[in-house]
Amino acid sequence: MSVAPPLLAVEGLTKSYGGVHAVRGVSFSLRAGEILALIGPNGAGKSTCFDMLNGQNKPDTGHVRLLGEDTTGRKPREIWRMGVGRTFQITATFATMTVRENVQVALISHGKQLYNLWGSAPNFDRGEAGRLLELVGMGGYADRPCGELAYGDLKRLELAVALANQPKLLLMDEPTAGMAPRERVDLMRLTAQIAREKSIGVLFTEHDMDVVFEHADRIIVLNRGTLIAEGSPAEVRGNPQVQAVYLGEGLLYDAQHREGASA
Amino acid sequence: MAFYVVQFLTGLASAASLFLVASGLSIIFGVTRIVNFAHGAFYMIGAYVAFTLTERLSGAFGFWGAIVIAAFAVALIGVLVEMVLLRRIYHAPELFQLLATFGLTLMVEDLVVLIWGPDDLVGRRAPGFKGAIDFFGQNIPSYDLFLIVLGPVVLGILWLLFQRTRWGVLVRAATQDRDMVAALGVNQKWLFTSVFAVGVFLAALGGALQIPRDAVHHAMDLRIIVEVFVVVVIGGLGSIIGAFVAAVLVSELNAFGILIFPKISIILVFLVMAAVLIVRPWGLFGRPEAPARKTPGLTVNPWRPLTSNERLASLAAFVIAATLPLFAGNYALTVGSEIAIFVIFAVSLHFLMSVGGLASFGHAAYFGLGAYGVAFLAKMAGLPMIVCLLLGPLLGCMGAAVFGFFAVQLSGVYFAMLTLAFAQIVWSIAFQWVSVTGGDNGILGVWPSSWAASPSHFYWLALGVAALVTIALRAMVFSPFGYALRATRDSLLRSEAVGINAKRIQWTAFVIAGTTAGIGGALFAYLKGSVFPDNLGISLSVDALVMVLLGGVETVSGAVIGAIVYKALNIWLVSQTDLSKLVLGGFIVLIVVVFPKGIVGMLEMLAQRRRKTSPPGSPLLAKPIESAE
């Protein structure tokens, strides 16, 4: 019997710099519509791992497969063409263009019109651009210069841009870093809602444990380049290895304390 | 065999001066992030001052003392320049910094002619190194041997300076992160000033040491700065070792290139530079440049296509311009044609620079190639004018395709330096390859066919083409390609993350801009009836930059206004004064320091201020009309 390949399959990903093993034999998979958090203390290899998925970095060994197709070592723009949208830890947007134009650029690229010299870009897929902006709650900002936006709004815009190619997978590097607590909750709720509606798989790295435990369906934990735990939020939270290695003694007390308080 | 050894030693000797100047440029860039275009000018002043001093002071002590005093004196001038001018523009975009220092260079070129006269000056031989040493029947000047030793000695001294002194530690720290050094309580102002002084000292010393080898003349600044740019591009900006290795490499390539391609020796250097850039885009010893800083204060209003009112106004301006032959004389029409041609040139650079964010410092290369293309076709193949006009720009297109491919691998100041070096290479070929290009004598007798021969007909032709080109490029700004190009300018990271092949988009833009410039050049050849190497010279490239800057680099229609104002001013100025470079240079510096948004940018700002105070819905022009003339 044949089983459909998972949306994302990571097998034995390894990367070292000189003698330092940044990532060692990391394997995991992700289903469509699932929200997976990649966590770990600083220096655990999260960013290295993340960059190997989105094409910024090449693994020494191991494979990344998207719906069965090997994407290992491909360029970011090729991976995007295969249906992977992404947002950056520090937002990257087109600062001198308006909010709508930012989305239109992604739509133009998706429609393979990048070398169209004569068409009218201001009217390009205007309706779709508007819908995407409405989706992330930025409909009223369409004509604002992107450079004027507040940071939280930039994050929403990035989400709209990342959704422009109707992705199967969203890669979000610390999506809530630098945001106010209220904005964090809003953004992650929005992301989760969109992911479930459109059956998009989401992989995100995150430092804020509140965000992780509230929104992730499943969590994988990296420490010193190796995967030390994987499971539902409850399982990971209860995993003694994770508590010892990741949270540390002091935080362990804190975590239990908070759990007790909320129960 | 002995001949090759001597050739090799000559190359090493030439490397010494080149290394001194290049290391100075590198050190200044490392700390201040300014690519000091005026570095060649300081080199030249060093040579001139040393010439004067060595004439006045006698004896061996006098000669060597004069060299050192000259270097110190020029370093003092450098300090003055840093304090008066550069301190004002450390936070300006790098393009403005390059232009300001270029303006200085222009001023210096006229100043040295004012002070020392236009003739070449031949300096004294160095006491103690007057003779030559016999090497298997070949002569090696002993001064060359002195220079060969001097290079590594200076490298050693610089190394000690940077490794063993407190100042050196600060400089190295600032090269890595100048904001952090400032945050640690170091007085940044004086650090920058002292670094600039050291860099200028090295440049002036390089110039002073040249006088026993070469005549001192008022064009030596551009020649050395192009070589220095090639050296730092190969060696890597900010690396002193890189400057040394690349200076030796470039000098040896020059020394042996003459044996292999006597006519176009510079080709060899170009090939090596191209190879290095493909393998290591940041130079042999360089590190990738940090992404360009966002510049506060220069925000861009979102661009939008013209409203129907603005379209009507543009059309009206075009119609008025088209009636010029009804009342103006032949001279005015010739000036009008020239202005129309420069509108084409300026909008082509604007497309690359403002829309694509790629500031080319050698755009005249493609303008000139278009002109030469026409001249070849008209004179050698004897084709009719209309065919030449259509095919001539293809030479500009091909040049842009080849050079653009390498240039877009880089960005920012590297891009500017590389385009400048390419333009200089094309200029050298036009200048040196006499059998094909006529060298300095150019190609004469490129006259228009009878249908376009009269000044009014030619004016209408130029005006019509300028209008078409402006409309076409403007349409491209608002085409999907234009959006993609602006996207690569704003964020490379994000554009790659939405599937855009940024380098290929930029390359396409480069070819479009080069071809368009070629159209301007083709018309220019017919307007003047001749082509000269000057048609692709550096000063023409800078004209284009100033036109774009004057109109406003951040506006869509600025280039048109900038070209009209600048060219009219320029033609008038040249007829009024012999010191046009001095005035022009001062003008550039002034624009950068007090007027960074250009004419159209200023008008837009004023309009916006008024709109904010006036009730909504009032019919205000957000952008001034775009006219064809």
Whole-number pLDDT of residue A255: 52
Q: Is A63 on the interface with B (CB under 8 A)?
A: no
A254 pLDDT tier (thresholds 50, 70, 90): low
Chain B neighbours among A 108-137 (CB < 8 Å)? Answer: 108-110, 113-122, 124
Residue A95 Cα, gap to closest chain B Cα (Å): 6
**What distance in Å separates the CA atoms of residue A8 and residue A38, rounded to the nearest whole number?**
14
Q: Cβ A119–B479 below 8 Å, yes or no? A: yes
pLDDT for the residue B479: 95
Which positions in chain B touch A115 (Cβ < 8 Å)? 480-481, 508
The rounded distance, in Å, linking the Cα atoms of B310 and A90 is 39
Burial class, B288, CB count within 10 angstroms (exposed 0-12 / middle 13-18 / buried 19+) = exposed
d(CA B60, CA B124): 11
- Residue B307 touches partner A, C-beta closer than 8 Å: no
The pLDDT assigned to B164 comes to 92
Closest CA to B619 of B310, B301, B300, B312: B310
Q: Is the pLDDT of residue A237 over 90?
A: no
Mean pLDDT by runs of 10 across the 629 residues of chain B is 84 91 91 87 95 86 90 96 89 80 90 92 82 79 90 94 91 82 85 94 94 88 86 87 93 85 72 80 76 46 79 90 89 93 95 90 94 92 89 94 91 82 87 85 87 90 95 93 93 90 96 97 94 88 86 81 88 82 85 78 78 48 36
- The pLDDT, as a whole number, for residue B417 is 80
pLDDT tens per residue across span B400-442:
999 999 899 887 778 888 898 888 889 888 988 888 888 888 8
CB contact under 8 A, B496 and A77: yes
Residue pair B286/B239 in contact by the 8 Å Cβ criterion = yes
Sort strands A169-173 and A84-87 into parallel, antiparallel or unpaired.
parallel
> In the structure, what pLDDT confidence band is assigned to residue A114 with cuts at 50, 70 and 90?
very high
- CB proximity A92 to B under 8 Å: yes
Cα B494–chain centre separation:
29
Q: Using only C-alpha atoms, what is the Rg of chain A?
A: 19
CA A98 vs CA A10, A101, A157: distances in Å: 37, 5, 11
For chain A, percent of residues with pLDDT exceeding 70: 92
**With an 8 Å Cβ cutoff, is A71 touching chain B?**
no
**DSSP-assigned letter for residue B89:** H
Interface mutation target, options A50, A51, A71, A108, chain B, most CBs of B under 10 Å: A108
- Strand A35-39 and strand A61-66: the pairing is unpaired
Q: Which of A93, A108, A122 sits opposite B494 (nearest CB)?
A: A93
Q: What are the strands, taking DSSP E only, across B33-184?
A: 132-135, 138-141
Distance of CA A211 to the CA centre of its chain: 13
Residues of B in contact with A97 (CB under 8 A): 302, 483, 486-487, 490
Q: Which tokens hold the place of B554?
A: 């951040």
Indicate the residue type of A211: V
- What local confidence, expressed as pLDDT, does residue B282 receive? 81
Cβ atoms within 10 Å, residue A214: 14
**Length of chain A, please?**
263
pLDDT tens track for A43-81: 888 888 888 998 888 899 999 999 888 988 899 999 999
What are the tokens at B83? 């304090």
Report whether B294 contacts B91 (CB < 8 A).
Answer: no
Burial of A210 from C-beta contacts in 10 A (0-12 / 13-18 / 19+): middle
Pure H helices in B261-392: 266-279, 308-322, 324-327, 330-350, 364-375, 385-391
Cβ atoms of B272 and B249 within 8 Å: the answer is yes
- Apex B615 CA angle, B610 and B619, nearest 5: 70
Closest CA to B418 of B517, B291, B277: B277
CB-CB: which of A78, A80, A122 is closest to B305? A122
Cβ–Cβ below 8 Å for A92 and B476: no
Among the residue ranges A82-86, A220-224, B57-61, the one predicted with the least confidence is B57-61
Decide if A88 and B302 are in contact by the 8 Å CB cutoff: no
Each as own residue / partner, the long-range contacts of residues B81-86 (CB below 8 Å, 24 or more positions apart, any chain) are B81/B38, B81/B196, B82/B192, B82/B193, B82/B196, B82/B197, B83/B193, B85/B589, B85/B593, B86/B32, B86/B34, B86/B192, B86/B196
Confidence of residue A261 (pLDDT cuts 50, 70, 90): very low
B345 three-state secondary structure? helix
Chain A residues 43-62 within an 8 A CB cutoff of chain B: 54
Please give the torsion angle defined by the CA atoms of residues B338, B342, B344 and B350, in that order, rounded to the nearest 10 degrees: -170
How close are the terminal C-alpha atoms of chain A, in Å? 45
- A109/B500 touch (CB, cutoff 8 Å), yes or no: yes
Find the residue in A nearest to B478 (Cα).
A121
Quote the mean pLDDT of chain A.
86
For residue A84, give every residue at least 6 positions away whose Cβ sits within 8 Å of its Cβ, in sequence order, or none.
Answer: A54, A66, A71, A167, A168, A169, A170, A171
Amino acid of residue B359 = A
Q: Does residue B483 contact residue B510 with C-beta atoms inside 8 Å?
A: no
Q: Looking at A6-83, which runs of residues are DSSP E strands?
A: 8-17, 20-30, 35-39, 61-66, 69-70
Cα(B588)–Cα(B100) distance, integer angstroms: 6
Contact predicate B190/B79, CB 8 Å? no
- Name every residue whose Cβ is closer than 8 Å to that of residue B260 and which is 6 or more positions away in sequence: B268
Contact B491 A75 (CB under 8 A): no
Instruction: Tell me whether B488 touches chain A (CB under 8 Å).
Output: no
Residue type for position A79: I
Q: From residue B167, how far is each of A23, A127, B149, B163, B164 by CA, in Å?
A: 40, 60, 26, 9, 9
Q: What is the pLDDT of residues A133-146, one digit of tens each?
A: 999 989 999 998 88
The answer to whether A97 contacts B479, with C-beta atoms less than 8 Å apart, is no
**Furthest-apart CA atoms within chain A: distance in Å:** 64
pLDDT of residue B377: 93
Rounded CA-CA distance B260/B264 in Å is 9
**DSSP letters along B464-500, please?**
HHHHHHHHHHHHHHTSHHHHHHHHHHH-HHHHHHTT-
Nearest Cα to Cα of residue B150 among B242, B251, B20, B1: B20
Give the model's pLDDT for residue B150: 92
Tell me if B436 sits within 8 A of B598, measured CB to CB. no
Q: Compute the distance between CA of residue B513 and CA of residue B390 in angstroms, rounded to an integer.
A: 16
pLDDT at A128: 93
Q: A95, B294: Cβ pair inside 8 Å?
A: yes
Touching check for B484 and chain A: CB below 8 Å? yes
Among candidate residues A244, A241, A199, A242, the one with its CA nearest the CA of residue A217 = A199
- Substitution target in A90, A94, A146 with the highest count of B β-carbons within 10 Å is A94
CA–CA distance, B311 with B315 (Å, rounded to integer)? 6
B518 touches A: beta carbon within 8 Å = no
Per-residue pLDDT tens digits for B205-218: 999 999 988 889 98
Q: DSSP 3-state assignment of B354?
A: helix
